[in-house]
Chain A
Amino acid sequence: MLEEEKKEEVSLDELLKRFEEYANEPGLLDAFVLTYLEPYMLKSILATNADAMKKAEAIESFGDLMASYSALHTIYFWFAEFASQYPEEGHFKKDMEEIVRTMQEVAKRVIELYFEIKKARTLDVIIMDFRYLASKLQDKISLFAYHVLDYIAELRFSKQASSTP
């Protein structure tokens, strides 16, 4: 890891290879793709010609995106835990698939954005992209709340119905 941190930059091939390897495992996608890319991304933003305020804004919105990614990954584990406990039920299967798809899309786009920054794409556009990606993750987190709420309402209803003579 320390050896990796010493590198100045990371190649597209390496990132894509990592992506392919961990694409179906949200936890690993978070740790070995996005978190791995994090220091390189920060370095590339700092190396742009934008003014200090713009760089700071880009970095802050990237932080927001990374935290949302991590939160969605935690939620994925919630569903996964549920699925392992009650494998006979298909509940939340669709949610899990959607989360994995979203996490893949976001990771892939973040990799692209890293190279777009290096190709001197303006940080204003990059910031908008970071925010858009973060909002995509937020939408999925909101959906989690709705679906869990529905599911618990269902459970409460059947519990009540079964206890009524």
Chain B
Amino acid sequence: MSSVLKKRKKKEEVTPETFFARLEEIKRRKDSFFTYISDEEQEENIPKLQKLFDELKPLVREAVYKAESDAKTKAETLYSFGKFVAMYDYLMAFHKLTFDLSLVYREDFYKKIVELMERAVEIFSKIKQGVPLEEVMNELDFLYFDTKQYVEEFLKSLERYVEDLRP
């Protein structure tokens, strides 16, 4: 590999700090009279969050591969990560449903998406810092269960909403 290419590669390395900065950028409120996060703001930010998440996934994988641990622990960590990724994607999809249905709690839902993303970036940061993968795995499991629980709560509230609408 030529030195120029090496340099470029090194320059392109994305750190957790970059992700935190981008997340802060997404979280930064526009000058607005309203205290709530408007639909427009949410609609503008959701694709950015999705993009951030898509970029984060391969980096977490790579960081786990490179971590100092045995193959079994690495694989189990990725198993927990795989579960979280799938559930987070469902959470994103259900946020769209709250929009399509104009449900009142769509803003809370949005905030939860941001919060979980923040925790995912924190976990990425911990892997890069060399935190033992056993600990990372635990955190990923908590993250997965929290995400799953939120999905379940959403479905419960949808149930109540349907009940209210019924004659």
- Listed in ascending order, the chain A residues whose CB lies under 8 Å from chain B are 42, 45-46, 52-53, 55-57, 59-68, 70-71, 74-75, 78, 81-82, 85-86, 134, 141-142, 145, 148-149, 151-152, 155-156, 158-159, 162
Contact = CB atoms under 8 A, between A and B. Distances in A.
Interface stretch (B9-17, B33-41, B90-98): B90-98
Contacts of A145: 93-94, 96-97
B97 A148 contact: yes
Given A56-B61, A67-B144, A70-B148, A159 B90 contact: no
Interface string B65-97: 100000110111011111111110010011011
B166 interface: yes
Interface in B131-152: 144, 148, 151-152
Contacts of A53: 65
A74 B101 CA distance: 20
B159 interface: yes
B78 A59 contact: yes
B100 A149 contact: yes
B113 interface: no
Contacts of B82: 59-64, 66-67
Contacts of B76: 42, 59
Contacts, number: 107
A59 B155 contact: no
Contacts of B87: 67, 70-71
22 contacts: A42-B75, A52-B71, A56-B75, A57-B78, A59-B78, A60-B81, A63-B80, A63-B86, A67-B82, A67-B84, A67-B85, A70-B148, A71-B148, A74-B151, A74-B152, A82-B162, A142-B93, A145-B96, A149-B101, A151-B162, A152-B101, A152-B161
Contacts of B81: 60, 63
B1 to A, nearest CB: 20
Contacts of B75: 42, 45-46, 52, 55-56, 59
B5 interface: no
Contacts of B65: 52-53, 56
B148 A60 contact: no
A52 B74 contact: yes
Nearest to B155: A78
Given A53-B65, A74-B152, A63 B101 contact: no
Contacts of A70: 87, 148
Nearest to B158: A148
Nearest to A70: B148
A152 B165 contact: yes
B94 A42 contact: no
B2 to A, nearest CB: 25
Contact of A152 (B83, B85, B148, B162): B162
Contact of A155 (B71, B155, B165): B165
A71 B90 CA distance: 8
Contact of B155 (A68, A75, A162): A75
A81 B159 contact: yes
